[in-house]
Amino acid sequence: MQKFDLIVIGGGSGLDVASAMAQHGLKVAIIEKDRLGGTCLNRGCIPSKLLIHSADIAETIRNAEVFGIKINNGYSVDFGKIMARVNGITDSDSDSIKKDLLQTDNPKLFTKECKFVGKKEIAFYTEEEEKNDYKPDEIITAEKIVIATGTRPNIPKIKGLEEGVFITSNEALRLKKQPNSLTFIGGGYIACELAHFFGSLGTKINIIQRNNVLIPNEDEEISQKFTEVFSKKYNVFLGYEMDSVTKNSMNDGNDDDEVTFHLTANNKSGKKIELDTDKVLVSAGRVPNTSSLELEKTGVKTSEKGFIEVDEYLETTSKGIFALGDVVGRYQLKHNANLEAKYAYGNIINYDEKRQVDYTAMPHAVFSSPQVAGVGFTEQELRKKGIGYLKSTYPYIQTGMGEAIQDKDGFVKFLVNKNDRKILGCHIIGTDASVLIHEVIISMRTGDGTIASIANTVHIHPALSEVVSRAASSI
């Protein structure tokens, strides 16, 4: 049995902890059965945003005539080139990480599937070995362990929805051929980002959403405006539950490129919709990668949904075992996982003086069109908590740059405490929302957090950030 000072399971943000601990002089093992770099680099934020940039360019070209630019001969889409560029970049980065790890003994990389066989003992196996009741001959152990195994797409129980019938975001980011039509089951941020990508390039988009709005976790006014804008571009079916998915009988199913599917869904009033589509993309949330770890052997508790329970220091219910990132389920965001990795490292190194993770002003963004960004409470959350607040909104189009770029739908919304004027939340929909939110984040996290800190800051005229200033000055 090999002994280490630290074992990290997961090659995403867990890599940060492993590398830092190795540099600190500890003997470290890192386990990653898949590509190095985690979900973000390989199946998430990096490849999706690289693809979305192509969509943004296509959308700009389509709208060029608004600004006096005529595209007389139109344009064409080289889907294969777009995908090859994106996957070439991400695969190269992932391969580079693996190459660097293989050239060093610390941290030591293990590339097999793993599971706990004791409280702090981990064994390795392949799927085939597991089927054959394999007895592991290699077991590693450490006093400190970090679990950073992330999440995977959730697959709801729907009649006919089985492997080979649907794709998830994982496969969508690796498609070789652009589908003529694509139907999303679910209307959260993953669906809306990928719908923007494929739709902007010419794919017919259908979205079947059980909720009455898209991206329902956003502030209610943001969700409503986003749904309104998206419904003008794509076929959006709100309030529908999926009934079944079947392969169309006209196809023999031998050629994946030729197979199409028939979907049925129903709403609460009994109305039924039927759709035919080239591809079915399931985007119904994500579930943690914990089921195969056999955590019951460690004393590590999980929630009903399988997320690992941790305290304010990221330590699990088993002393010396920590968890971070999406597998914890607090904020399923890469920048949150990176933040937690810093705390996990510090709390392992200084175990007797652990620090509570500071989640103040944790922001997020949706890189669709329009973009969405938010930080702090939504208005519906404040009502539910009974917190007194003031609010203001200001439209992009009533600023110089907003008019220049003709963003008629965008706006900034502030929610402010009635008593101390502290910013309780800020929500933005429109051009560069993911960038504009940052001065609010800084004020809330490291400044005095008041609306005056935004309103009293001199903003460049006529930069787009004036819309943030004017929204702040309107309270």
Give the residue numbers annotated as catalytic, written as ranges.
Answer: 461
Cα separation, 106 vs 102, whole angstroms: 9
Cα atoms found within 13 Å of the Cα of residue 295, Cβ hemisphere only: 24
Q: What are the strands of the beta sheet with 235-238, ordered from one edge?
A: 235-238, 204-209, 181-185, 279-282
What are 419's two structure tokens?
């008593």
> What is the spatial distance between Cα 404 and Cα 66, in angstroms, rounded to a whole number?
11
Q: CB within 8 A of 270, min separation 6: which ones?
A: none
Would you say 293 and 118 are in contact if contact means Cβ atoms under 8 Å apart?
Answer: no
Rg (CA), the chain: 24
CA angle, 208 as apex, 204 and 210 as ends, to 5°?
165
Q: What share of the chain is helix, strand, coil (3-state, %, to 5)?
A: 35, 25, 40
The distance in angstroms from the start CA to the end CA of the chain is 64
For 52, the 3-state DSSP assignment is: helix
Close Cβ partners of 300 (under 8 Å, ≥ 6 residues apart): 147, 308, 309, 316, 317, 318, 321, 323
